[in-house]
Structure 1
Amino acid sequence: MTPPDGVNGDNFRDPTTAWQGPDGTWKVVIGSYSNNQGMAILYKSQDFIHWTMHQDPLYLSSKTEMWECPDFFPVSINGTNGVDTSIENPSVRHVMKASFNSHDVYIVGTYVNEQERFLPDADLTGTSSDLRFDYGKFYASKSFFDGKKNRRILCAWVNESDSMEDDLKKGGYGLQSIPRQIWLDRNGKQLVQWPVEELNSLRDNEVYVYGKQLESGSVFEVRASLLHRQDASVTGKFGPFGLLALATKDLAEQTAIFFRIFRDHKDYKVLMCSDQKRSSLRNELDKTTYGAFVDIDPHREMVSLRTLIDHSIIESFGGKGRSVITTRVYPKLAINDEAHLFAFNNESLSVRVSRLNAWSMNKAQITAGGKPKLYPRISRGRSKEYDP
């Protein structure tokens, strides 16, 4: 495959997984940029050797930059199972994903095979209103279909927030996220993500708490939390309430993962944030605060949080995976046995910790044949998990 006329070689890269049309033709999408438009160029082949470019891109947007690491795959409208990349029938919709401007964004829509067109429910805007896999550090993701367990799995590059000097000392830059199963939410508007079930086999040393009241202004040390608004009928803004991860006892270092709830006379809005301003006493780090709205009604559903915490990475799944935020933090004091976790409530009303479970996490086991029992990230010792 070669770039079309007018497309620079640097703006032609990262093929998707190939899929096969009903007539047996192989197809693949290449990320590109031309005439101030980011795009997914479509190539076709009968033998998987000789490829020709389709006359029109499968999708393009004048509001996006160069597309890196595009992905294109079907999702079932009938449940959480994944489907093979070549499936095309009325029981699936399609997802188009692009990486640009340090974010992985996606749109859900309909693939018209006969016309080689992807018709999204809403176009990409190149703004913060676009749907993202993850609202923190999560880039260049790739999904694949696991035919053994009928699921689609997503992984991504989680880059550093450290200085270039420290990156050179470490001898590497970034790591892979925990693999996530993804599926279409039952509302059909967005994807849901959840850590793969194999992760549960690494759990150890469980602790749990049920029905603990968290009064206004209180903080208590925990291992996990599922937080429930006790009174969601009042108009206004509530919060923040949530977790302080990788924290020192005196809270000099802390990474806050928290919720705020906004309500007018008709609707609720739930905002999930990961605040890194006090994540480390070191000053040269990127300490961006990330946030995303979670599509839940707290009057009908508990506000839930599952958090995976390692030495320098925190992956947080809000609303049972409807919104996800991944951060990189580098505490100077809150390390090993000095790293604590607290639940806090800084709003005027009380919050009830309905249920919490927590585990330490063992290392992934690698068999003699080199096949992982779980997809391993860099071996850095034991981690922790906080799960509803």
Structure 2
Amino acid sequence: MWECVDFYPVSLTNDSALDMAAYGLGIKHVIKESWEAHGMDWRITWGYVGESDSAEQDLSKGWATIYNVRRTVVLDRKTETHLLHWPVEEVESLRYNAREFKEIELEPGSIVPLDIGTTTQSDTSRKESWIFATFEVDQDVLEAASETNDKYGCTTSSGATERGSLGPFGVVVLANGTLSELTPVYFYITKNASGGVSTHFCTDKLRSSLDYDGKFLLFLREWDLNPYDDEETYKKLLVDHSIVEGFAQGGRTVIASRVYPTKAIYENAKIFLFNNATRTRVKATVKIWQMAPAQIRPYPF
């Protein structure tokens, strides 16, 4: 069922907002549909993040779905076929206590904990994080790799445990110290028979919670890097107690997920970098902020 269908203009030349009635040169119209309800105010969108638990678990929790972070929506002028979704700039005002980790070398099969410090007594109820990570793949291995996989897909894979010569690699969030609970958000690079390269962007929820009801919880987005091989491979993650929103390549692809860890909560929620590829080395640079609560002021009537 399609819900909240919108037809609206976007600029071909800049990121400015347009009146819904705008038309003419330098403008392209796009149609947006949703399997979940969304709202649209020209360039800003928000919507429900659906649950991935069973209906019985939703009933036992007493709630279902949540709104995602408000996002700007502009045309991807590199492709002119995609929309870029990115958190509204006002969210950045909530960041504090930044920590940066530069050029961390990730060998094949490695996982590296990131020391993000301990929360103070007054902060023990808060564990929201804003993570910006860039990854540099060993170009020699990338060019020499002969392994091809035209049919790889996150939803048909074994998640972050399935290894190839060029992936997976990325960030593990909402993980406890023993890794009995963890949520990897990662890239997986594949080559096809003609030599082309595709990068898959995935969230693996198979081990997100020990309170697991048996559903197959993997999400998939992917894009072809060949036309844009001058771009860094990067992503932004917004992590709350029960939600992980991932934005890759400036918002060209986005995944929002609900997770309910039982061990990786509050001060026990850790962050790791990992490279589970069999051949390629990866260099990662990461900056992590804590997030303060939004100051909601009532609308003056």
Aligned mates of 1:71, 1:286 — CA distance in 2? 32
**Counterparts of 1:93 and 1:285 in 2: how far apart (Å)?**
43
Distance 1:288 1:170 in 2: 19
Q: Distance in 1 between matches of 2:13 and 2:229?
A: 26
Q: Given the alignment of the two structures, is residue 141 of structure 1 paired with residue 38 of structure 2, yes or no? A: yes
Please list, as runs of the form range in 1=range in 2, the aligned pairs for 1:109-120 lying within 5 A after superposition. none
**CA separation in 1, counterparts of 2:243 and 2:89?**
20
List runs of 5+ in structure 2 lacking aligned partners: 117-130, 148-164
Is this contact kept in 2: 1:295–1:319, CA < 8 A?
no
* 1:351 corresponds to: 282
Query: Residue in 2 aligned with 1:233?
Result: 143
- Matched with 1:335 is 265
Structure 1: how far apart are the matches of 2:73 and 2:144?
A: 34
Residue 220 of structure 1 is aligned with which of 112, 119, 129? 112
Offset, 1:172: 2.9
Alpha-carbon offset, residue 283 of structure 1: 2.3
Q: Among residues 288, 311, 317, which one is paired with 2:217 in the alignment?
A: 288
Residue aligning to 2:99: 207
Q: 1:274 to 1:216 in 2, by over 3 A?
A: same
Give the percent of matched residue pairs that are identical in Structure 1 and Structure 2.
35
Displacement of 1:67:
2.7
Q: Once the two structures are superposed, what CA deviation does each residue of 1:30-51 show, in whole Å capped at 9, x if it has no partner? A: xxxxxxxxxxxxxxxxxxxxxx
Deviation at 1:197, TM superposition (A): 0.3
Displacement after TM superposition at 1:226 (Å) = 1.6
2:33 corresponds to: 98
**Residues 362-373 of structure 1 aligned to structure 2 (within 5 Å):** 362-367=292-297, 369-370=298-299
Amino acid of the residue matched to residue 283 of structure 1? Y
3-state SS in 2 of match to 1:167: helix
Deviation at 1:82, TM superposition (A): 2.2
Mapped to 1, the partners of 2:86 and 2:214 lie a distance apart of: 28
Distance 2:197 2:38 in 1: 31
* In 1: Cα distance, 2:235 partner to 2:108 partner: 20
Change (3 A) 1:318 1:179: same
Q: Which residue of 2 aligns with 1:248?
A: 176
Of 90-99 and 231-240, deviating more is 231-240
Q: Is the 8 A contact 2:112 2:272 kept in 1?
A: yes
Deviation at 1:247, TM superposition (A): 0.6
Tell whether 2:244 aligns with 1:306: no
CA drift at 1:198: 0.4
Whole-angstrom CA distance in 1 between matches of 2:208 and 2:60: 21
Closer, same or farther in 2 for the Cα pair 1:169/1:282, shift >3 Å?
closer
Conserved? CA contact 1:76–1:93, under 8 Å: yes
**Counterpart position of 1:316:** 246
**RMSD between aligned alpha carbons?**
1.9
Deviation at residue 98 of structure 1 after TM alignment = 2.1
The alpha carbon displacement at 1:163 in A equals: 4.2
Contact 2:197 2:224 (C-alpha < 8 Å) held by counterparts? no
**Of residues 163, 179, 184 in structure 1, which corresponds to 2:75?**
184
SS state at 1:270 partner: strand
TM-superposed deviation, 1:161: 2.4
Give 3-state SS (helix, strand or coil) of 2:91's partner: helix
The aligned residue for residue 202 of structure 2 is 273
Conserved 8 A contact 2:11-2:18: yes
Displacement of 1:166 in angstroms is: 4.5
In the alignment of these two chains, the number of paired residues is 260
1:338 Cα offset (Å): 0.8
1:168–1:254 Cα change, 3 Å: same
Deviation at 1:80, TM superposition (A): 1.8
Q: Residue 78 of structure 1 aligns with which residue? A: 13
CA distance in 1 between partners of 2:198 and 2:224 (Å): 8
Q: Does 1:263 align with 2:191?
A: yes
Tell me the SS of whatever aligns to 1:282: coil
Which consecutive unaligned segments of at least 5 residues does structure 1 have?
A: 1-65, 104-138, 146-151, 372-388
Q: Which has the higher contact order (CA 8 A, sep 6+)?
A: 2
State the distance in 2 between where 1:261 and 1:214 align.
16
1:269, CA displacement in angstroms?
Answer: 0.5
Question: Secondary structure at 2:21's aligned position in 1?
Answer: coil
Q: Deviation digits for residues 174-217 of structure 1, max 9, x if unmatched?
A: 11110111111112111111100000000011000111111111
Structure with higher Rg: it is 1
Amino acid at match of 1:153: I
SS of equivalent to 1:315: strand
Deviation per CA, 1:214-257, whole angstroms, max 9, x where unpaired?
11111112364321112232233510111111011111111111
Q: TM-score when scaled to structure 2?
A: 0.81
Q: How big is the shift at 1:170?
A: 4.4
How has the CA–CA distance of structure 1 residues 365 and 287 changed in structure 2, closer, same or farther, with 3 Å as cutoff?
A: farther
1:28 corresponding residue in structure 2: none
Question: Could you tell me the TM-score, scaled by structure 1's length?
Answer: 0.63
| Cα offset, 1:288, TM superposition | 1.6
